[in-house]
Amino acid sequence: MNFTQISTFQAVMTSASLSDAATKLGRTQPAVSAAIKALEDQLGLQLFERRGRKLIPVPEAQYLLTEADAILSQLNRVRQTMRSLSDGHSGTLKVAAMPGPVSLIFPKFIASKVSDTEGISISIQARTSNQIAELTRAQSIDFGFADAANTEPEENLYRSVVISADCPVAVPENHPLAQKSEISFADLDDQPLGTLPQSHRQTQDLASRFAAESLSLRATIESQTFLPILHFVTAGRCCTVLDPLSVFLVNADAPMVGGIAIRPMVDPIRYYYAIYSPRYRPISVIARNLLDAWQAEVMKLLESSGFNPRFEGKA
C-alpha cells in the first residue's frame, strides 16, 4: 500500500459517491477507480461490491478505514512537526554558557527569542569555559559561549567564532579612581586587584602589560569568575580589570552587584570570547538561528557599550 492508495480509499469511504471522492481528491473518476483496484489487488481482498456506478464497502473495508484514518493522521502530525522544525518553531535546544553571561544576559536573550514558540524544549547549562569546550568536542550541546582558549586544539571536532573587546576597570564608587574619566595602567600600579587565575589568558595579558610598563601588579583576590570579585569591589577591597560583558551585571536595570563605577581604560588589553559549535552534531533550525542571533547580540552589546568588539577569526 502507498499513500495515494490509502488516501483514495479513505476519500471513497467518506464520500457520498465516486464522483464526490474524485472531486475531493482533485482527480478523475477513472484514476480513483484504478487506485482502488490496485489496492484490492495488493491486499488480495475485494473491498467494494460494484453495483452499477456505486461502490458498496464490504465489512472488511470498515476495519481498513479505521487503520487508514490512523495512518493518515500520523502522517499529518509528522508533516506538521517537520514543518514546525523547518520554521524553527519546535525542536530541542541544548546550550551552555560560562557563569557570568549565564547569570543574566544569556538566558534573557534565549527567553526573548523563544517567547512566541511553544514546541521548543530548552536545556541551559552553566559550565566553566573548559567544560563548555569539552561538551562541544563531545558533540553534546548545540552551541556554547565561553572564554576563548589560548590555542585551538589540533583535532577538528568543533567550530569556534572568537570575538574580542576592550576590558574596562571596575572600582568602588567612592574610590579616588572613580573620579577619573579614563584609567591607565599607571593608575593601577600597586593597587589591590581582583584577578582571574594565573593560567587565564586575560590574567597573563594583564601581567605582561604591568611588566612591560614596570608597574607592580598586586593581586589580592583571585576567582574563577568575575562575579565573586565584583562583591569585593563593592566592599572596597579591590579594583579589577573586568571582562566587558560582566559590566551588564553592574549596569543592568536590576544589578546583581552595586556600588561600583565602571571606567574605560587608556590603551586597554583585550578580552577574548568564543562561541563554540560541534562539527558533527546535527543542528536544528532553531539552534542555528539562535547561534547566529547570539553572535549578533554579543557584537551589539559590546558595540553599544563602547568596547570596540571585533572578530578575531573563525575555525
Strands 54-57 and 48-51: antiparallel
- Predicted local confidence at residue 15, as pLDDT: 85
70: CATH: 1.10.10.10
Domain shared by 135 and 178, yes or no: no
Decide if 26 contacts 14 (C-beta within 8 A): no
The C-alpha cell at 231 is 562583591
Collect all residues with Cβ–Cβ distance below 8 Å to 3 and sequence separation of at least 6: 75
Domain shared by 25 and 148, yes or no: no
Domain shared by 175 and 157, yes or no: no
The C-alpha cell at 32 is 480513483
Per-residue HEC secondary structure of 218-280 comes to: EEEEECCCHHHHHHHHHCCCCEEECCHHHHHHHHCCCCCCCCEEEECECCCCEEEEEEEEECC
Residue 5 CA to residue 3 CA, distance in Å, equals 6
Region of 265 please: left (phi>0), alpha (psi -120 to 50) or beta.
beta
What residues make up the domain containing 249? 168-268
Collect all residues with Cβ–Cβ distance below 8 Å to 80 and sequence separation of at least 6: none
Domain shared by 160 and 289, yes or no: yes
Domain shared by 284 and 156, yes or no: yes
User: Final residue of a domain: which of 54, 72, 87?
Assistant: 87
Domain shared by 79 and 219, yes or no: no
218: CATH: 3.40.190.290
Strands 169-172 and 239-241: antiparallel
Domain shared by 153 and 234, yes or no: no
143: CATH: 3.40.190.10
Q: How many domains does the chain have?
A: 3
DSSP E strands, 131-217: 143-147, 158-166, 169-172, 192-195
Strands 218-222 and 192-195: parallel
- Predicted local confidence at residue 115, as pLDDT: 67
Q: Tell me how far CA of residue 305 lies from CA of 241, 243, 247, 283, 285, in angstroms.
A: 16, 12, 9, 32, 30
Domain shared by 177 and 251, yes or no: yes
User: Final residue of a domain: which of 253, 268, 283?
Assistant: 268
- HSE toward the beta carbon, residue 218, CA cutoff 13 A: 11
Extract the residue ranges of the chain whose pLDDT is less than 70: 77-91, 115-119, 151-155, 252-254, 313-315
Domain shared by 298 and 159, yes or no: yes
DSSP-based three-state secondary structure for 95: strand
Domain shared by 51 and 77, yes or no: yes
- Predicted local confidence at residue 184, as pLDDT: 97
- Predicted local confidence at residue 188, as pLDDT: 97
Domain shared by 161 and 228, yes or no: no
User: Final residue of a domain: which of 55, 87, 119?
Assistant: 87
Residue 278 CA to residue 58 CA, distance in Å, equals 56
pTM above 0.85, yes or no: no
Residue 299 CA to residue 233 CA, distance in Å, equals 27
Question: 122 has which bridge partners?
Answer: 93
Domain shared by 143 and 283, yes or no: yes
